[in-house]
Amino acid sequence: MDIPKETLLLMYEQMLKIRHFENRVKDLFAGGELPGFVHLYLGEEAVASGACAALQDGDYITSTHRGHGHIIAKGGEMKYMMAELFGKATGYNKGKGGSMHIACPELGVLGANGIVGAGIPLATGAALAAKYRKSGQVVICFFGDGASNEGMFHESLNIAGAFDLPVIYVCENNLYAVGTRQSEVRKVEDIADRATGYGMPGLVIDGNDVIAVYEAVKEAVSRARAGEGPTLIECKTYRWRGHFEGEVDNYRLPEEIKAWIKREPLAPYRKLLLDQGVLNEEKAQAMEQRVIAELEEAVGFARQSPLPKPETAMEGLWA
């Protein structure tokens, strides 16, 4: 394996962060501390971690309603994310966005999005801007299986293909759009097949294998940076929780959920790193303790942060 050790470790740390962050959010939400809705990324950690590890600092991503993992993987700080989820003034977006609307342009995060598929044209436009400015930036566009049935997906991929735009479409196929099983509303088995129609390569990979995600995205990033155009990468994965927290999950069989949890992405990757000698047990535990400590600090920061002043509701509409 020719992946640098730092990259291997970074991907592991990001997966750990996402796993712990989402579990903590689950409990905080259940405990009534978080307003609104949350959509958890548990089970899909390898996709964001592997994909973002293939990017450089100046590159962009667009995210989705299930976006916490993408933002952490792109370098988002858990304290500002947690504060945003608490609706506090110190959050990434001053409490105006919330779980579904976190953006941080300095990190290249052009926004999570509450509208399924809406990040796809935005990412494609950012890629057009990068191409026009010859900035060398590339864009990763995260979206789900449901979004691949939106007109926004088809119009955007057609344009990206026609203009060889530097964008990588990373589809997280977790089999269900809210409560609808995708095989019931889509004739083709693989969303990646749709790439052919737009003149770009389409790949199907195991979204629970962080190395596979990294390698596929890395290759697509190289093509994009070289001006060779976009790629559609379909990552087969699964969300452990419902569409949103508090949902009655009556559309999935318990055996199916159990089977997917059994082939979860984190533990096998940990074992791989230990087997390869990239990590030892002591370092692995120390890393996990650091992540947990940082997370607890983030929760403390969010709890202690001030609420936004009501009058700030009238600020920030106009440039």
Partner 1 sequence: MKQVFYNQAIAEALAEEMRRDPLVVLWGIDIGPYGGANAATKGLFEEFGASRVIDMPVSELGYVGLGVGAAAAGIRPVIKLQFSDWITLASEMLINQAAKMRYMFGGTLEIPMVLRAPVGGYLSAGAQHSNSFESIFSFVPGLKVVMPATPYDAKGLLKSAIRDNNTVIFFEHKKLYGMKGEVPDEEYTIPLGKAEVKREGSDVTIVTYAYMVGMCLAAAVKLAAEGVDVEVIDLRTIDPMDEDAILASVRKTGHLVVVQETWRHCSVSSEVSAVVAEKALDYLESPIVRVTAQDVPVPFSPVLESAVLPKEQDIVDAVHRVLERAPG
Burial 120-139 (b: 16+ CB within 10 A, else e): bbbbbbbbbebbeeeeebbb
Q: Does 111 bind partner 1 (CB under 8 A)?
A: yes
* 87 touches partner 1 (CB under 8 A): no
Q: What is the dihedral of CA 120, 199, 45, 180, to 10 degrees?
A: 70
Q: Is 225 in the site for partner 1 (CB under 8 A)?
A: no
Near partner 1 by CB under 8 A: residue from 125, 166, 229, 265 = 125
Q: Rg (Cα) of the chain, in Å, rounded?
A: 19
State the number of binding residues for partner 1 (CB under 8 A).
47
Q: How far is the CB of 156 from partner 1 (least distance, A)?
A: 5
What is the C-alpha separation between 83 and 88, in angstroms, rounded? Answer: 5
Does 148 sit near partner 1 (CB under 8 A)? no
Q: Shortest distance, CB of residue 224 to partner 1, whole angstroms? A: 14
Provide the mask over 161-200, with x wherever binding to partner 1 is found by CB under 8 A and - wherever it is not.
-xx-------------------------------------
Burial class (CB in 10 A: 0-12, 13-18, 19+), 245: middle
Q: How do beta strands 139-144 and 167-173 pair?
A: parallel
**In whole angstroms, how close is the CB of 110 to partner 1 at the nearest point?**
5
151 touches partner 1 by CB under 8 A: yes
Query: Does residue 206 sit in helix, strand or coil?
Result: strand
In the complex, which residues of this chain contact partner 1 (CB under 8 A)?
A: 60, 62, 91-97, 101-105, 110-111, 113-115, 118, 120-130, 132-133, 137, 151-152, 155-156, 158-159, 162-163, 315-319
